[in-house]
Structure 1
């Protein structure tokens, strides 16, 4: 087990190294930040001074080596806009995005898994047909449109929930969290529901498919033949055997929510990393863009490792690649 984890960690390091090359090259072909940072009326001397100060006068390979050396020491550059270390700016916005992502994935699990179980156990029921039809709509509707509808209905027409911002926060472990206050929790509901819609439908359909596949198997028939209660058959034998693909989707979708919550954060003015990256792209703030992309890659690598380890906890028959019998 330990050897397999170490092997995965080494693979993660190689992935991160490869991503530094991809990210660095991509960032350097999207435009020249000097055109945005200095006034159009600036003379060539002023422009040359800014270029030299940013290290943009060096060959690309030297810029990459400087970037890699600094990154190994935890330095991803200083934001052109905020005049602060880019990683600090990202970490300041990370709690808001994590809070939104955790709330969204919890809603998706609480809604998707029970409805998927019901639909799988009663495939021909009228309610099941309604559930599956609604799930198709959940896949099809654009996130930004759903967000605007939620704002118009619950925020403007009914006035039940705030339509933007994070609201009041409270400190826990030195970090500000919105869910700890009533006002912050009210601000969290709409963007979390908006983000959860697609994932809830995905988990629902995957759970239903797993139940439909597992129910006819011999071990389920044997458990029922032994006289076990239906709740135990479903809660233990069926649920445990459908959880591996569900856990995979939950892990990957959680990473996707953290990385790609840009639209929702923009629609609801949620002050997380998604809104930050949009603002940074508009002004070509390269250090912020780079720090965001590297943080996202690191997050996905960690989630994949956690999902792999969760497999073995759910089913001891599953072994990490390379682990002995």
Structure 2
């Protein structure tokens, strides 16, 4: 276990370094933020002063070395627009995105696992066929269109749910959370469901495929031959063995949900990291863009490590020491 963790941490450092170079060069090679931040009526002296104050007069490699040195000290740059540390801005918005992402994944697991399990156990029933047809819609419908339809139906026509904003929040561990209040939950419902639709379809199809494959295994046949009840066969021998691929996909999808919740946050005016990055891209606020992308990289690396460690808990046959072979 120790050798595996050390190896993974070294790999993570190399990935973070490589991604920092790619992200920094990619973002800083596109556009000129001075053209957006400075008034068109400004003279050349004011423009040069702005370029020097932002550190844009240095060569690209020098800018990267300055960024890398500051990043090692926990400083990912200062926002051109807000004149605040980029990391601070992102951390202020992170709780809103995290609770939305975790809410969406919770919905996808609670809804997708039972439906996928039923569809796998009874593949030819009309209900199973309906479930699988519905999962195709979840894959096919665009997120922004579903969000607009949810607002039109449940907010405009029925008036059941608020359409935008985060609602009332409550403080827990020094952080503001919406899910701790009823008003916050009502604001969170539609964007979380909108984010969860694709994930529900994914979990349904993955669970169904796992069940269909596992039901043909010898150990399941032996369990039935021993006279075990269908419930015990399903939840002890079948369900446990399909969790490994489900955990893998759900873990990776959690990272992608956090990273790509931009559309949902924009549609529902949810004040999270996604909305911040869209606003930053519009004004070429480079430090915020780079800081956001680096935090997303760290999140993906951490989630992948947690998923790998979970393997050994779900199936002792998985040996972490042998993964590098």
TM-score by length of 1: 0.98
Q: Which runs of no fewer than 5 residues in structure 1 stay unpaired?
A: none
Q: Is the 8 A contact 1:3 1:323 kept in 2?
A: no
Aligned to 1:296: 296
* Cα RMSD (Å): 1.1
Aligned to 1:176: 176
Alignment map for 1:28-177 (pairs within 5 Å): 28-177=28-177
Q: Name the residue aligned to 2:285.
A: 285
Distance 2:298 2:158 in 1: 41
Paired residues of 2:144 and 2:264 also in contact (CA < 8 A): yes
Looking at structure 2, the residues matched to 88 and 16 of structure 1 have their Cα atoms a distance apart, in angstroms, of: 20
Deviates most, 193-202 or 28-37: 28-37
Helix, strand or coil for the counterpart of 1:288?
A: helix
Aligned to 1:171, what secondary structure does the other structure show?
Answer: strand
The match for 2:7 is 7
Paired residues for 1:158-237 under 5 Å: 158-237=158-237
Deviation at 1:324, TM superposition (A): 9.6
Alignment deviations for residues 190-223 of structure 1 (CA, whole Å, 9 cap, x no partner): 0000000000000000000000000011100101
Q: 1:225 Cα shift?
A: 1.0
Match of 2:311 in 1: 311
Aligned equivalents of 2:321, 2:292: Cα separation in 1: 30
Deviation at 1:52, TM superposition (A): 1.0
SS of alignment partner, residue 244 of structure 1: helix
- Counterpart Cα distance in 2 of 1:297 and 1:195: 20
Deviations 1:199-250 (CA, angstroms, capped at 9, x unpaired): 0000000000000000011100101111111111111110111111100110
Q: Distance in 1 between matches of 2:276 and 2:323?
A: 41
Q: Distance in 1 between matches of 2:16 and 2:320?
A: 21
Per-residue deviation, 1:320: 2.1
C-alpha distance in 1 between matches for 2:315 and 2:13 = 27
Instruction: Indicate if the aligned counterparts of 2:76 and 2:287 stay in contact, CA closer than 8 A.
Output: yes
